[in-house]
Amino acid sequence: MSLTSAIATAQTIFSNTGLQSAALSTNIANASNPDYARRVGTLTIDSAGGQKLSIDRTYDNGLVKQTMYSTADSAAQDTLQEKLERIRSLLGGNDYETSPSTYIATLRDSLQAYATKPNESTLASTVISGAQDLANSLNNMSGEIQSMRGDIDQEIGNQIDELNGLLKQFDAVNGTIKAGTATGADINNELDMRERYLKQISKIVGVRSFTRADNDMVLYTSDGSMLYDSGARKIMFTPQAGYDANTDGNPIVIDGIPLQSGDNGNSTAKGTLQALLQVRDTIIPTYQSQLDETARGLITMFAQTDQTASGVDPIPGLFTYDGYAAGDTLPASGTLTNGLSAAIKVNDALIKSKGGEPTLLRDGGYDVDGLGVASTDYLGNTNGDAGYSDMLDGYVQKFEEDQPFDEATLLDASATIGDYATGSVGWLEQYISESAAAKDNKSAQLSRVTEALSNTTGVSLDEEMSLMLDLEQSYKASSKLVSAVDQMMQSLLTAVGN
Amino acid sequence: MKTSFISNLAVTNSMRQSINQVQNELTDSQREVVTGRYNNIGEVLGGTTSRSLNLHRDVNMMDNLLATNSVVTQRLSSAQMAMETISNAGQTALNTLVALAGSQDKTQLNTAAQTITDVLDQFTDAANTSVNGEYVLSGINTDAKPIAKYMDDENGAKTVFRNAFASFFGFAIDDPQAANINATDMQSFLSTVVEPMFLDPTSPEYAWDTAWSQASDEPMTSRISKAEVVQTSTSVNSDGFRYLAMGAVIATELLPIPIQGDTRSTISNAAIGYMGKAINGVDEQRTQLGLSENRVSMANETLQAQVDIVKLNLDDLEGVDVYEASTRITALTNQMEISYNLTARLSQLSLVNEL
């Protein structure tokens, strides 16, 4: 080997060291960038025996996909949990102070007190204000959860905007990668970016990715509808103007196929969109139907019934509802009437501030909201006795009696009103508790997978440092080599010169 | 070549996550130590939350029943006291009438008539006993004073009686002709006019409802436990009170008028009979309410026992072992300190410092 070739080798070493140091410093610079995959300089020898250094990006396709799935699962569960917590916050704190079940229990207790001392009009007023609290609580709950559905529509709209934006950026990067792969340019930074967009898209909607020739990527949603193939597919969604118990939400249509909603407390939803659909289309409507049945149960329980065997139909008593007109039949027992919890109210005939008289509850035979339907057929206290407690005690008794409820509400088909209302709380808590456990599991899984990915493709400063020492050594060695060759040349030249 | 399967990001993240987790657990445990209940009952119990709510409702309901039972007890004991007074007054009247034993002595008669007028007043006062704004012997018509004052002729009872007398005998009660009334006529007056006036609602003479009593026949009833409803007051319309009023009225009205000895004996014997029935009748009502009082105290005992049991159940369901929670806090605090220490040390550990 000639001295010239030794110099040439030393030069290669300098150039390689330079390239590797560049990669190393990029690694160090990105040590805390979660979307960065470590670059490695790989030395290969080509067929001609020449050394060639290429800078490669470490990757683990399996772990990247796993991260995407876990991100989608975890984001969906987080959203579900957050929405459920919001519904629960309507029920008050650990004692469920503002839940209808609590107001029902209070109403029962004040009725019992009134039945024991039926001549005391303040006790009558207590019962009526307890009933008003209960009706208000049902109205509020119904209003709040329906407006939540409206908020969810808005959120879906925002997320779809975000998704469209991401797909657009994804498209740009994917284009560069395709072109770069074809021409052999350095596309490592673009690959990092594409991975980052994939993770962000996964948060919104679960995706599966396939890589084709030239590193071109195709995206499907976890449902199987096409999300991206050489261009983003169309996503269509129209928010509803307003929600009530009878409104159905509009679907999210991706490439012509409606997106499925999630299911269960441990949700099957992948990505926040499916979780939002689950809350909007399954959880809130079911909870609403339970509130509606609670309201219906109360109206039925307190209806004024025939006291004289004259065969008159029942009319509303303590509780009535917006939209009741003289001659209407009351909502059928055991059958869901949508939106009743928003419409339930206390009969004006019993409210002092509305010109009514609370003590009429004791006697029966009173009017409903000034409709003029009062009749002595419903009158229990025919002699106007102040100590008459039969009707009041009858109401108290009804709190202990099972009544039929619609099975479609997913609760007991036959229960006391109190048990039905607490059952509804139990249903929600069961959902929340399943969801909370699932949330813990899924976020633990996500952090494990992210950690594994980070450990595989992330940067360890210590390792970079030790590599730097290597580089330093090889740099020193090659400079030594150059100076040795130089000295040899020098001594040769001196010998020739003399 | 990659030699280490650990990245700096993973190390710092895992430290941060573990500190977060410990901090969350710490705040939860702190709250649990203070309240003695789970920090988030719903999340721990899930679907069982409805059972916890049902038990809370039951406890409240039973506490409420205990409170309303105290109202019931008060009403019952007031009614008992009133009836005891009435029964004692009846006994006084009976004793007086028996002691009279056919005496024709004017002074003695007047004294007896006076005593019985007092008895009538005592009866009226006691029958009108009111507690918490309720007349306890008025049945369910608790707003109305059950018995009007006879001597003041408040509701016209006195007039009714005197008119009946006048129309039966053809002259007023204070007319000297009364001396001519014989025992048979008097007996007939008592059984065909006076008795129906007080006792027989179908008779045209019947005046109890209009001139005497404002009470309702129906006694008050109250729920004293989840399943039990008992009678908690009584009505002066029950027979005992009517007999007492009747006996006292004929004694005060008819004994002092100038009549023959055997006629007076008829009256006084009738009055003695009525008083006897009155005392029996009133005592029967007292027994009835005594039974209710007994039921209430039994119900209270049962309720109290149930409240205690349910509270224990609730404690099992949603209670936290406070000692366990506080040792957990100690453990967590230690864990956090270790975590902080480690974080500080690990972040100092870097090859950079050694080069």
The tens digit of pLDDT for each residue in A273-287 reads 999 999 999 999 999
Instruction: Residue A56: list chain B partners with CB under 8 A.
Output: none
Of residues B180 and B76, the one with the higher pLDDT is B76
Q: Band of the pLDDT at B4, cuts 50, 70, 90? A: low
Residues of A in contact with B68 (CB under 8 A): 112-113, 116-117
* Contact across the interface for B8 and A31, Cβ inside 8 Å: yes
For residue B350, which residues of chain A lie inside 8 Å, CB to CB? 461-462, 465
| pLDDT over threshold 90, residue B76 | yes
Q: Is residue B265 classed exposed, middle or buried when 0-12, 13-18 and 19+ CB atoms within 10 A define those classes?
A: middle
B61: nearest CB among A105, A388, A426: A105
Predicted confidence at residue B124, as pLDDT, reads 93
* Confidence at A167, pLDDT banded by 50, 70, 90: very high
pLDDT in tens, A185-199: 888 899 999 999 999
Pairing outcome for strands A226-228 and A217-221: antiparallel
The alpha carbon of residue A56 is apart from the nearest alpha carbon of chain B, in Å, by 11
Interface test with A, best of B53, B134, B354 (most A CBs within 10 A): B53
Residue B2 has pLDDT above 80, yes or no: no
Contact list, B66 vs chain A (CB under 8 Å) = none
With beta carbons under 8 A apart, name residues in chain A contacting B2.
Answer: 38, 40, 58, 463
- Which residues from chain B sit within 8 angstroms of residue A95, using beta carbons? 56
User: In the predicted model, is pLDDT for residue B353 greater than 90?
Assistant: no
Say yes or no for a CB contact (<8 Å) between A429 and B46. yes
Lowest mean pLDDT: which of A57-61, B169-173, B189-193, B310-314?
A: A57-61
Report the pLDDT value the prediction gives residue A1, as an integer from 0 to 100: 57
A429/B50 CB distance under 8 A: yes
Task: Please answer whether residues A201 and A121 qualify as being in contact, where contact means their C-beta atoms are separated by less than 8 angstroms.
Answer: no
Pairwise CB contact (< 8 Å): B46 & A119: no
Residue in A387, A390, A432 closest to B134 by CB: A387
For residue B40, pLDDT beyond 90: no
Report the largest interatomic distance among the alpha carbons of chain B, rounded to a whole angstrom.
143
| Residue B73 to chain A, least CA–CA distance (Å) | 11
What are the tens digits of pLDDT across the range A383-419? 889 889 999 999 999 999 999 999 999 999 999 999 9
Place of tokens 């503002």: A98
Question: How near does any CA of chain B get to the CA of A425, in Å?
Answer: 6
Residue range A160-172: mean pLDDT, rounded: 95
DSSP H or E stretch at residue A266? none
What mean pLDDT is predicted for residues A364-393?
Answer: 91
Between residues B101 and A466, the one the model is more confident about = A466
* Higher pLDDT pick, B266 / B154: B266
Residues B57, A101: C-beta atoms closer than 8 Å: yes
> Directed axis angle between helix A121-183 and helix A188-204, to 10°?
160
Cα separation, A268 vs A245, whole angstroms: 25
Residue B319's beta-bridge partner residues? B37
Distance CA A194, CA A204 (A): 16
Q: Answer whether A9 touches B (CB < 8 Å).
A: no
> A451: closest CA among A73, A79, A60, A188?
A60
* CB-based contact A425 B132, cutoff 8 Å: no
| Binary contact (A120, B133; C-beta < 8 A) | yes
Check CB contact under 8 Å for B45 and A427.
no
Question: B222: which strand partners?
Answer: B230
Chain A interface mutation, best of B44, B57, B355, highest count of A Cβ atoms under 10 Å = B57
